[in-house]
Amino acid sequence: MRNNPWKEPPISETRINERIRVPEVRLVGPGGEQVGVVRVEDALRLAEEAGLDLVEVAPNAKPPVAKLMDYGKYKYEAAQKARDARRNQANTQLKEIRFRLKIDDHDFAVKKGHVERFLSAGDKVKVMIMFRGREQSRPEAGVRLLRRLADEIGDLATVESMPRQDGRNMTMVLAPTKRKAEALNEQRKRREAERAERRGKRAERASKDQARAASFRAEDKD
């Protein structure tokens, strides 16, 4: 695969101002406007007059592309974006839960609750049915059970891997409709809202206690 010559290089490798040692560049203005191909000396002069830096953004292009910008501000914003990306990055895990073919409604509801909790947290779920004895001759019953589960949690997941039998087991993989980072962010907001509600209730109780104490003091004076 050929490299994209217009792809911006990493900040640590970016050449700016006098470090750009080519005879000419294709110059881009601070607002993204195309200035055209100019001598690097002229581009440096324009950068100095504008109080900006000349930054090589596409060194592999012919001629290289350079842009007039505030390089310090650019580095700060790029570092902020990288920090935000790392903060929001979360690894999706593959959880596993097992069903019996002859499962009663109560156990089904309990296990479905586990599946919903995993999916709400942004994780994938591998659902497995373990066949016993003659149950292996009834794969259609396993498919019906897994489809029932998928239908009942349709708002939370999509079927990433359809039911598939492998020996004594049948598996299906469910993928959450929300990304892990989004799910964690929602959980964080929900916890913050709950804490704020508890603080509000405590403040309300404290205010009532103070009012009651003031009332008692007033009665004592009378």
Domain residue extents for the chain: 17-74, 94-176
Tell me the H-state helices in the chain: 40-50, 71-88, 105-120, 139-152, 180-221
Say yes or no: domain 94-176 is CATH 3.30.110.10.
Answer: yes
For 29, phi and psi rounded to 5 degrees?
Answer: -75, 170
pLDDT tens string, the chain, 222 residues long: the values are: 444 544 545 545 789 999 999 999 999 999 889 999 999 999 999 999 999 999 999 998 999 999 999 999 888 888 888 877 666 555 668 899 999 999 999 999 999 999 999 998 888 999 999 998 888 888 999 999 999 999 999 888 999 999 998 888 999 999 998 765 566 666 677 778 888 888 888 888 877 778 777 776 666 665
Fold classification of 17-74 (topology level): Ubiquitin-like (UB roll) (3.10.20)
Angle at 147 between CA 146 and CA 148, to 5 degrees: 90
For position 189, what pLDDT does the model report?
Answer: 75
For position 2, what pLDDT does the model report?
Answer: 44
